[in-house]
Amino acid sequence: MKLDVVLGLQWGDEGKGKIVDVLAAHYPVVARFQGGPNAGHSIRFGDTAFVLHSVPSGVFREGSINIIGNGVVLDPSIFRTECEAIGALGIPVRERVRIARRTHLIVPTHKLLDAADEAALGKAKIGSTLKGIGPAYSDKTGRNGLRVGDLLEPDFREKYETLKRKHLARLGQYDFPYPFDLEEAERQWLRDAEYLKTFDIIDGEYETNALLDAGKAILAEGAQGSMLDVDFGSYPFVTSSSTACAGACTGLGVAPSRIGRVYGVFKAYCTRVGSGPFPTELGDATGEMLRQRGHEFGATTGRPRRTGWLDLPALKYAVMISGVTDLIMMKADVLDGFDTVKVACGYRVDGVRTDRVPYDVYAEVEPVYKEFKGWKADLGSCRSEAELPDEFKAYIAYIEQETGIPVRILSLGPDRAQTIIR
Ligand code: IMO
Ligand code: MG
């Protein structure tokens, strides 16, 4: 059996939660392989909308196994709040969620460091979600980090105090007056770490491979998006993990040869939350219309998302880096009723035409647009390919031709029923 991967191809918030929830019907196992509670994956459960931060989006499916992989950074306090809320819906969360022993922990001082780093950057700030993601990954690669497996060791408290001392020493170098009760947060965190220990803590790499050997299909659920990848995104305006397909191998302990389909999720337009380049951004009434019609406000931070037209050079780049086999287009219904719909098919960088994503995040990038006639139809009520307006079909065909990848799934509204599989 192969491991299939679902990834965001833009700057996050592509609608991965809904798609994983739809695809999860075919996968008994869903695994998160990177990122942390900076993710906000919105899915519907009955009449309630639910935002998942750390727990894989398969958790609402009966009998599912949901693995938090070693590539994730986990905050026990956020994890507990999330699991208790899921449990309150009558879901047997402890039966469905397992955590890899090698998963790194976010401690309270990671959040303080995140805030202090951002404050020190001033105008150049990343626009971080301030969940401690960057500092936790820095400790991982800096070989200072604490892992879930350490919670089970007798000297855990000592290790924790050592790490905290290092953090406080670093914080002392900042002129950063934080309004934060560290002692209280720490008491809570230590209680929540005990709660985490009541879950199945597993050798993730062995279990994942054994599940595949036993013929269980696994869906690896990416968080954030390709353009926020620590290597290939718009560095330094990125998150701190590998959001591309390769991250699924290192984040779960699965060989590249075991990867099957790679589902690339993108919106029919673009959004970005936080700082950094966004060539097709619209600061005008059309941008506002996208924000309002698309409910483009952060699921984790509530911040209004920046909005703009679809960016094909960036999409093709993401398809190339991850070897996407199937495209999944989200939220084209948000564009219903627009007179024209634009797509950036290339850029002019410092006056020179290119279709490559520039290295320089401060370069003047002017998109070159292709215009499409809008569809004056209600896509959300379409239930089959035959019902789709011709103008929309032309839009899809252009994207398929440019990327060379078929658009296999169209999501035309938040409901599971508003999904067309082609
Ligand atoms: P999902 O999984 C959108 C952005 C932040 C910031 C940058 C770094 O819901 O798509 P960090 O918290 O990692 O220090 O922030 O990355 N960012 C996201 N943007 N969706 C997300 O997750 C994001 N996770 C982080 O806004 O610009
Ligand atoms: Mg989100």
CATH number at residue 289: 3.90.170.10
**Distance in angstroms (rounded) separating the CA atoms of residues 156 and 105:** 12
Statement to judge: residues 149 and 96 lie in one domain: no
Contact criterion met (CB below 8 Å) for 91 and 59: yes
Q: Which residues of the chain fall below pLDDT 50?
A: none
What's the Cα-to-Cα distance from 47 to each of 22, 44, 183, 300, rounded to whole Å?
Answer: 16, 7, 39, 20
Q: Is 13 a catalytic residue?
A: yes
Question: Which of the ligands is closest to the CA of residue 223?
Answer: 1
**Among the three residues 243, 262, 281, which one is the final residue of a domain in this structure?**
262
pLDDT of residue 179: 66
The DSSP-derived string for 177-190 is -----HHHHHHHHH
Statement to judge: residues 411 and 387 lie in one domain: yes
Statement to judge: residues 273 and 354 lie in one domain: yes
**Among the three residues 196, 222, 250, which one is the final residue of a domain in this structure?**
196
pLDDT in tens, 177-222: 766 788 999 999 999 999 999 999 999 999 999 999 999 999 999 9
Task: Indicate the SS3 state at residue 300.
Answer: coil
179: amino acid identity, one letter: P
342 CA → ligand 1 middle, Å: 25
**Distance in angstroms (rounded) separating the CA atoms of residues 342 and 354:** 18
In ligand 1, which atom is closest to the CA atom of 239?
13
Statement to judge: residues 120 and 57 lie in one domain: no
Statement to judge: residues 92 and 126 lie in one domain: no
Statement to judge: residues 235 and 94 lie in one domain: yes
Look at the chain and report how many structural domains it folds into: 3
User: Measured in Å, how far apart are the chain's first and last C-alpha atoms?
Assistant: 23
In ligand 1, which atom is closest to the CA atom of 134?
14
Statement to judge: residues 320 and 415 lie in one domain: yes
235 CA → ligand 2 middle, Å: 20
166 CA → ligand 2 middle, Å: 31
Q: Is 175 a catalytic residue?
A: no
39 CA → ligand 1 middle, Å: 6
In ligand 1, which atom is closest to the CA atom of 12?
10
Statement to judge: residues 206 and 218 lie in one domain: yes
Which domain CATH number covers 180? 1.10.300.10
Contact criterion met (CB below 8 Å) for 58 and 100: no
Statement to judge: residues 69 and 152 lie in one domain: no
Statement to judge: residues 287 and 340 lie in one domain: yes
Its domain, for residue 366, covers 267-421
Report the residue among 111, 128, 138 best suited for mutation to probe ligand 1: largest number of ligand atoms under 8 A from its CB. 128
pLDDT of residue 175: 80
Ramachandran angles phi, psi of 107, nearest 5°: -105, 165
